[in-house]
Structure 1
Amino acid sequence: MKKSTLRFLWISLISALTLCIGVFVWITTYMVRQSSEALHKVGTIYMSQMSTQLKLHFNLLIDLHLSEAEGIIEQVSSGLSDSAGGTRIRLDAGGENNSFTYLSLYAEDGKNDVLRGETVEIIDEADFIDSLNHGEKKVAAGVTESGEMLLLLGVPASYSMEGGTSSLALVAGLPMKYVGESLSLDIGETLVYSHFIRKDGRFILRNADAGEDSYFERILSQKGIDGKTPQEMVQEMKEAIAGEEDYSVVVEIDGERRNTYFTPLPHSDWYLVSVMPYGTLEEPILTLGRQRIVTTLAGSGLIMITLLIIFFLYFRMSQRQLTALKEARKKADSANHAKSEFLSNMSHDIRTPMNAIVGMTAIASANLEKTEQVKDCLQKITFSSKHLLGLINDVLDMSKIESGKLTLNLEQISLRETVDSIVNIVQPQIKMKNQQFDVFLQDVHTEEVLCDGVRLNQVLLNLLSNSVKFTPEGGTVHLTMREEPSPKKDTFIRIHFYVKDTGIGMSKEFKERLFEAFERESSSQVNRTEGTGLGMAITKYIVDAMEGTIEVDSEPGAGSEFHVTIDVEKAQMLEEDMVLPEWNILVVDDDEQLCRSAASALKELGAVSEWASGGESALRMVQARQETGDEYQIILLDWKMPGLDGLQTARQLRRKIGGEIPILLISAYEWGDIEEEADAAGISGFIAKPLFKSTLFHTLSHYMGVSSDAMKAEELYKPELGGRRILLAEDNDLNWEIADMLLSEYGLEIERAENGQICVQKYDQSEPGFYDAVLMDIRMPVMDGYAAAKAIRASGRVDSDIPIIAMTADAFSEDIQKSAACGMNGHVIKPIDTALVIQLLQKYIRPGKGS
């Protein structure tokens, strides 16, 4: 088999080489032929232009001297003396002044009176006299008695001649040599030279290169060219001249190819013959042709060597490919195994919440009279449903990533709202596992940025959920956010997110595969934890799409720390004027970084702040302030601290400072969990971590009597929803029933449209302002939500800006972008979060407008 392959390769090589040489030789031959034709065309174009220039120059020269001859006539006609003798004298004087060497009066019968110069014999005299009899200005050639060739110019003129006859014309003459010099017809530095010939081919003015009396005789004395005989070539020339046409031909004179161009001259029966030798232009073409042949052969040799090298390398490459194929097959088998394992895990992970949903539904149905038990079942169903939805979202996201369709949706977001939202989402999981949770800020000064908020949420939730999931009960999970200048531009900032836990950690080997799809570490602890193995792959893809980085530091049994870095652009907006009174504020927390960050933010707001690292230190500092009479006016107190915790410290502070000074509890936990105990300890209020500058300002403003324009605007912007009419476009009966029941509890009046077309019809048929908002499903029969939204926006009604919120199962970034492009104000993903729908309705429904 190897010999037959080698033979095949050699035959292929020789065939390819032969084909290449044949193709190159054909191309070379073809190009040489094309070059010759191109040379002829270029020569013809060049000769045509040169002939046109010479013809124009000749015409100007003849017109000049004809004008001079006419000028002589005008001067004589304006003279005082009208005697014949005086006229002849003045004509002669005019001829001398204009450098004419010959001057004569001609009668109709050809008789002439020579006024100046020798007697001249006119060539083709009959044609010349005939043209003058017709009143034309005419040019002819003549020979003097001494044999000099003259250029004769005849212009109509009537004067008395000897014998009593009247003249027909005045004829002036110039040496033909003068014409040749004026037109530069001789061979010079240019490649072109010219002749003047008569229609019968005889030379009027010839170049020194021509020895014959007739140009036709010159051609007939040479050899033919390109398959034409001299006789055929002369016949073609005569036919072109007879038809007064321009004519171009290649002739061979004395063994040299010459491009020859014929064109008629004005005021005469002459032809201008321009000649350009081929030698100077042809030699480079021939040299180029020889060089092409040499280059072709060299190229063919190079190709042969290249082909030999290629075929040699092919053997080596084929061996490597076989090895790579084996590796690829091994990886494919491994991937198939991983996917099979993934499907097995998914089967277990999906069935687990489904089992809980089905089981709890059955239990609730069997115990409808037991309210508490039904409530407990519904809570478990809700939790299992959200977990199941998360699994489905992971699979769908991975499908989008593998097809390359996952995109980012750049929008203005608040980092404070983003982190607050994430903290609220993970709190139930933290609470369920009784874990210690905290959020820290470091040097965060920018809150409004341009980013894909949904994807940023997804990244942080994936990391926090993993930390909570793989951290045992009683463990610790921390989220830290730090800001620094971005190396990109001044308009960007760099944000660092750190998610640290005291969980089970991971092995070095698994860390290398952590961000691969379907990967889960195989251990008893991991196997007991539900998950798809896709979260980290999706997280890595999103971070890469944001042009950021993600790193992990982990040891088995020592927990893990994920570090995400992204550069985001600052949002262009007017910053709120946040200024607090110069109150003395004490920040108490066992985390020094939190204390320093909060103290720095308070200083930027205008307050005077100090910080203490624990309850005991806080008590001493408060005591010292009391003794000086300059007491703290607000105390911010962390809930969970070593030694004296927040509540214990609050009780002792109340005994020292009384009940006047506000004490606010700092915590990342829900206020509802500790509200009763906090009230009993003398806590005045609650401030949620993380302590953004805006969070501090808006919370402390309530206790300092500061009016916040932003807060007032927000309150004015949130109307009561009772009695508001909402048009809900939904084709699915069950979805309609669920939405109607959930939203009606807020006092909303819900009206249904079964598809987009009905939705548009109801909107068109209603009075302007009848509906306060539209909740729009996307995938509907007859007309989908996108088309319906566009139709409403294009209606031209005064309320065409009615809030339209997409309420759909299309959950990806491109779906959100498409909704916005169609004029929708918001995008809610099914299964709907009722609180989010109400929040969006409060945001977009105009205040002061009711049904």
Structure 2
Amino acid sequence: MKKDTRLFFLASIFCAVFCIGIFVWGSLSMIRQGEQASLTLGEIYMKAMNYQMQLHFRSIIELKIKQVEGIVNKTPPETTRDHSEKARQELRSSAVLRKFTHLALYATDGTAEVIFGEPVSVMDEAAFLQALNRGEKNVASGVTASGRELVILGVSVGYPVSEGYPMKDGKTCTALVVGLPLESISDAMSLNLDKSMVYSHIIRKDGSFVFRNVAVKADNYYTWFEQDGHFEGKTAEEMVADLKDSIRKGAEHTMFMTVDGELHHVHCSPLPNSSWYLVTDMPYGELDKAVEGMWNERFFTAVSAALLLPLPILALFFFYSRISRRQIAELEKARAEADRANRAKSEFLSNMSHDIRTPMNAIVGMTAIAAANAENSVLVQDCLRKITLSSRHLLGLINDVLDMSKIESGKLSLNMDVVSLREVLEGIVGIVQPQIKAKKQQFDIHIHNILSENVYSDSVRLSQVLLNLLSNALKFTPQGGSIQITLYQEDSPQGEWFARTHILVKDTGIGMTPEFQKRIFESFAREDNARVHKIEGTGLGMSIMKYIVDQMQGTIEIHSEVDKGTEFHITLDMKKINTQSEQMRLPDWNVLIVDDDAELCRTAAGALTEMGTTVEWALSGREAVVMAEERHREGRDYHVILLDWKMPEMDGPATARRLREILGSQVPVLLVSSYDWSEIEQEARRAGISGFIPKPLFKSTLFQGMKPFMDVDAGQVGSVDTGMADLAGRRILLAEDNELNWEVASAILEEFGFLLDWAENGQVCVDMFGKSEPGYYDLILMDVRMPVMNGYEATRAIRAMDRADADVPIIAMTADAFSEDIHQCLESGMNAHVAKPLDIKVLMRLIQKYIR
């Protein structure tokens, strides 16, 4: 018995020791895994933070370079040959307006002619000048004569392709160079983050600092390395040599070092448009303490429990193992979530870059056309109209970015208002035309059975949906392919006040597989095959588009076949807006429509018949010539001929020339096309074209295009009284702290005959109103964000005055445009709200409403 007891005791001791050993071994293993997991997560976090800092730097520098390019665009070199002093004044004014503190012209040999600001010594001037002479944009740092550090931005202005700005010493100008305080970039970059997390520096290739975090005391980063850094396996000199080698090659560099007993993870990466490097440093001290404390506590708990009994120890071991596995799984899940979040941010930025660049392309292109044809007022007006349309769409995209948190949380709201389907489609067509032309694609628009051109909807969201569909069609349709938009309406099941609107976007592109069609509306979904690998896109747009259509209580269907094309069909029930269609009446004309598209002929003929004309159509230029010649012999010439630009066999110009030979110059021949009129106007005029009607051919489009040829005073046909005549001489008090905004508003309102007084802030506004005679001001336009006293406080102060006119109409005129901002304006006592940038029609409608 004793022997058995002794054996059991020894066995228990052995089991206990064995269990303790197992727990000790397992705990140490888990500690190592936890340390490795923390290092892995730290590395993921470091790369993500470094990438975000790079993007932030790029966006800041690109914005500043765009401002420099804006100076060049405003005062092009070729316009300054005979007015060099005037040009310098214009350059100086543009630079001051953009808050630059230094402006100079640089010659190819590095000679600088300072236009304003102190002389600057550029660091690494040779590399900076070489980049400018190659026509590149470049960023460097410099020091003024008074010792102030500046960020230097250089943009080529023509050399060696063409001559730049004239310099006083006769040298060739290669670049325009500006400077701004170094601290302004540092503040915008927000480099001095909490030391317990991550902090960053920007260094030059020689180790000197451009921006330095307060955590580093040395004047040179390499010196700090050698003085304070400790490394495993290598000396400080070897680590510095490795870092210099990576910087020389322009490669990224990652390393670990110990400073004051604390492990640091360092990641270095090159910055665009410069020879600078971004250094991101994350100390592991706090993280290591938390992980070490957690694992030490569990280790001692395991050992203590193992001393009690083998069975509880074994049970605890299995329970502990289970918890550990779960924690490892959670760590892996957190890592996967961090990767997904990083990808989502990158994909979102890429998607927004694509969506924003589309209208920007139209804006930049139309601006260039207007600048090159400044003497052609008709062309400039057309360019300005398209710039306005693209700008409005761009503003809508910016609002989408600001509203992204609501989209992600499922709280996307629609801004329902009166929408012109014609204006929406014209705006979309104006945006995509340059891309369609570049890819030489055929683009057709079919409009028919329109019950109401004006409907109740959200124009920004509707434009966003259409632009997304067209952008995808452009990307996935090869050069020379076909893209088609069809819009038609029918009676809605919701009643006579609604119109069921069908929008179809069809292309002859690469199509989609049935499997991908089932998940196309998932966020970031893209078809994973070789056909789409070279096509940019994130897959975010389709999910947002689907959400918008669902919010509009509509449906979207897809019909697609691989290598045959895709068709999207959107159906929306939209509330009709009553219009006075009886005003759109044309004389009893005989009209000939010439187009190879039979559907377009039928649609246009129906609209023109409703407006009182008699219509015939021809599907080719030769047929049209025969028909016109026959009527001419009979003395029954057509009153108006509508002619397509692109037709097979005999195109629009050839047909127009033949018609002019037969009919002379008396019959108007109007061009109907989705092409940009400014690009084809000269050829069209030479062929005898009298005017232009753009597609899409809505009823109102046809009426406005043919209205100038009516035998009555154009001012009496379809005119609308603006109601502005009785507002001349009315006085408005404008509270606005921004002088540029004041100039814009005053220039607009004074054209309508208003008399304006300017208050620089809310307090001045209250004082001016309080000192004025009762009834002196007819209306107050109030900015919200102002110094001394904001717009809300100023409104409440005016409403509290003991005056007969304390109820003077006050309209908020502000860039704060969210629904909660509008509500706060009304709560403070304002009568209405109008958002910046100003929509003149909306502003004048409000003024007309509230001025008595």
The two structures have a TM-score, normalised by structure 1, of 0.49
